[in-house]
Amino acid sequence: MQPDRPSRPAAASPGADLASETTCGSLGGRRILVVGGGQLPSADAGNPVNNGRAICMTLSRAGASIACADKSTEAAELTVRSVRDGGAVAIPADVASAAGIKGMVQAARTALGGLDGLVLNVGISRREPLAELTADSWDEVMAVNLRAHMLTVQQALPLMSMHGAIVFVSSVAARLPAGMNPVY
């Protein structure tokens, strides 16, 4: 998605400024699946670290092990290389497809040896105004931004440890009615 955020100075490598901060260790031993945890490469040197990668790096810095799921294997692997401490593994998965979600959750659980947390970060936007929206594009965005979260939780809950946690990422756009991007 096009970032709404201002650019900031480029780090030596993606997220290197975040990775150099001190580990706090409060999530030691926790195994967390982050859906949409990747970040595609950008030619823009000032491109900020996106939400998914920042979440993976921050959780890892706190000691968690991360399964980074993304429809782009390259994006997921770039995030995995930015993560340290608890370690991370890339899980290729397109959550627009209901069929792939069960496999994503199972792969994360197998790779991490269990599941204590879930971060549903994935969210897409096409910035189509109401007059240009089609039924198909409405369904495509809803399949990722809404249906995928429900299906992932449905698959993950029975596998999650007691006292696990689930975080849904949204946007302030959800609180601002606007005709320029209604599906988002």
Ligand X SMILES: NC(=O)c1ccc[n+]([C@@H]2O[C@H](COP(=O)([O-])OP(=O)(O)OC[C@H]3O[C@@H](n4cnc5c(N)ncnc54)[C@H](O)[C@@H]3O)[C@@H](O)[C@H]2O)c1
The residues binding ligand X (CB under 6 A) are 1, 3-5, 36, 38-40, 50-52, 70-72, 75, 93-96, 121-124, 144, 169, 171
The single-letter code of the amino acid at 138 is: W
Helix (H, G, I), strand (E, B), or coil: what is residue 105?
helix
Report, in Å, the least distance between residue 11 CB and ligand X. Answer: 16
Q: 171: exposed, middle or buried (C-beta count within 10 Å: 0-12, 13-18, 19+)?
A: middle
Residues 6+ apart with CB under 8 A from 27: 59, 62, 63, 64, 86
Report, in Å, the least distance between residue 182 CB and ligand X. Answer: 14
Query: Which two structure tokens, joined as six digits, stand for 124?
Result: 């897409």
Helices (H) and strands (E) in the chain, counts: 6, 5
- 6 vs 162, which CB is nearer to ligand X? 6
Contact 105/65 with Cβ under 8 angstroms?
A: no
- 84 vs 127, which CB is nearer to ligand X? 127
Report, in Å, the least distance between residue 125 CB and ligand X. Answer: 7
- Rounded CA gap, 87 and 56, in Å? 10
List the Cα angle 89/126/5 in 5-degree steps.
70
Report, in Å, the least distance between residue 56 CB and ligand X. Answer: 11
Report, in Å, the least distance between residue 148 CB and ligand X. Answer: 7
- Rounded CA gap, 108 and 93, in Å? 11
